[in-house]
Structure 1
Amino acid sequence: MGESALGVVLAGGLATRMGGIDKGLLSLGHRTILDEVLNRLSSQVDVMIINVNGDPARFSNYMLPCVPDSMSGHLGPLAGVLAGLEYARENGFEWIASVAADTPFFPKDFVCRARAAANEYNAPVVLASSFDFERSKWMRHPTFGVWHVSLEQNLRDALTEGIRKIVMWTDAVGGADVRFEHEQGALDPFFNVNTPDELVIAQEGAHL
C-alpha cells in the first residue's frame, strides 16, 4: 500500500474524570462523539481501526477492527500508537494517523497537512498544534499525529524503559509539528471532552 495511511482512533483511556465512561460514546445530540470523529477521519485515511482496551463489543456498532494495546498495564496513548503501528506494519501501511476518540471537531485537513509537514521536514512523526490564547503560546496535541511505521521498535523500547510522555519521545526521534490556526474566542479545533462541563460545550458546538 506504500504511502497509504491507517487511521487509528485512540479510545483506550480510562476516562477517570467521566466516571469511567467511554467518552467517545457520549451523545452530541443525534450522534455520538465517536460518530463525528470517524466521520471526519474517514475521508482522510484509507482504513480505520479503534484502539480500545476491555470488551470491544461496546464498539460493535461501528463495524471496525478493535485493536487492544499489545503491552499490558494501561501505559497511556503511546501504547495505543504502538498498537496502531503494529497493525499498520502487519497490513502493509507506511503511516498511521492517530486521533483521540473524545475530540469531535478536529480539522478535516489534519492528515493531509501533517503528512505534508512530515515530507517537508523529513520527520518520522508530526504532531498537531494550535494556539492557546490564555497561555499566549502554541500547544501541541500529542494524540493527534502522523507516525511512520519505522518507529515501531523504538517506541516499544521507550515504553519498556518507562517513557510515557509523548512529546518527550517524539522530540527525541526528530518529530515536528504542524500548526492549525483558529480565531480568538472560537472553539479550538482540538477541543476535547474530559469533564461533564466540557461535554456541554461540545454539545453546543455540534449545533453551531
Structure 2
Amino acid sequence: MKQPHGVILAGGLATRMGGGDKGLLRLGGGTLMSSVIARLAPQVDKFALNANGDPARFADLGLPVIADSIDGYAGPLAGVLAGLDWAAERGADCIVTAAADTPFFPCDLVPRLLLASEGMAAPLALAVTPDPKRGTARHPTFGLWPVTLRHDLRAALRSGVRKVVAWTDQHGGRTALFPDEAAFFNVNTPDDLARAEAMI
C-alpha cells in the first residue's frame, strides 16, 4: 500500500470555545494547528485541511483547504468524505485523519493504524486508548480510511448516518490501541487550552 494522504479535520463549530477556529488558537510558540501539522506531516505523503467557510483564513498554512460536500455541519464523517474525494483525485489508496484540536497525538499514529488494518481489502481502523470504565475509548477523528468506500460513505451520510462508529462497524473497522490514556487529549474549552499550555 502507498503511504496514506493526511487530512486535518477542522470543520466543526467549536461552540464550547465560543465559536471560531480552534485550530488557530495560540499554543506555545505557535497554534493548535501548527502542533498538529508538525506531528502529521512526517507520517503522510501529502495532506490537506478540511474546513468550511472562507478558506482564505488559512492561507498562511500553505495547505489545500477542502470543504464538506454534505451541507449542515454533518460531523466528522463529512470531513472524512471530503478528504477521501480529495485523495481519490490524487490517486491515493487511503487517508489518515487527525483532529485540529488535538496537539499531542502520537508520532506513530499512522504506522499503528496501518498495522491494525493489515490484510483488510478496504483498510479501515480507528485509534483507541485504555479506559478504566469502558475498557477502551475510541477516538473517531483519528482513523485510517479507504478511498474505495467513499461512495458508500456518501450514501450513508445522505441517509442520515452521523456516528462514526455506526459506519465503521458496518464495514468491519478495526482498532489500533495506543497505551497512553492521554494521547488524544483535545482542546474543547478555555480550561483545556490552559491545560495544553501547561503540558508543553
Alignment of 1:1-208 (within 5 A): 3-120=2-119, 124-133=123-132, 135=133, 137-182=135-180, 188-206=182-200
Q: Percent identity over the alignment?
A: 52
Q: How many residues are aligned here?
A: 200
Partners of 1:100 and 1:143 within 8 A in 2: yes
Q: Compute the displacement of 1:122 (Å).
A: 5.3
* In 2: Cα distance, 1:64 partner to 1:47 partner: 9
| Aligned residues: CA RMSD | 1.3
Could you tell me the TM-score, scaled by structure 1's length?
0.93
SS of aligned partner of 1:4? coil
More displaced, 113-122 or 26-35? 113-122
* In 1: Cα distance, 2:16 partner to 2:159 partner: 28
More displaced, 115-124 or 194-203? 115-124
Any unmatched runs of 5+ in structure 2? none
Question: Which string of whole-angstrom CA distances, capped at 9 and with x for unpartnered residues, describes residues 157-181 of structure 1?
Answer: 1001100000011001110000000
Question: Which string of whole-angstrom CA distances, capped at 9 and with x for unpartnered residues, describes residues 16-56 of structure 1?
Answer: 00111211111112111110100000000010100000011
* In 1: Cα distance, 2:135 partner to 2:31 partner: 31
SS of aligned partner of 2:43? coil
Could you tell me the TM-score, scaled by structure 2's length?
0.96
Partners of 1:121 and 1:176 within 8 A in 2: no
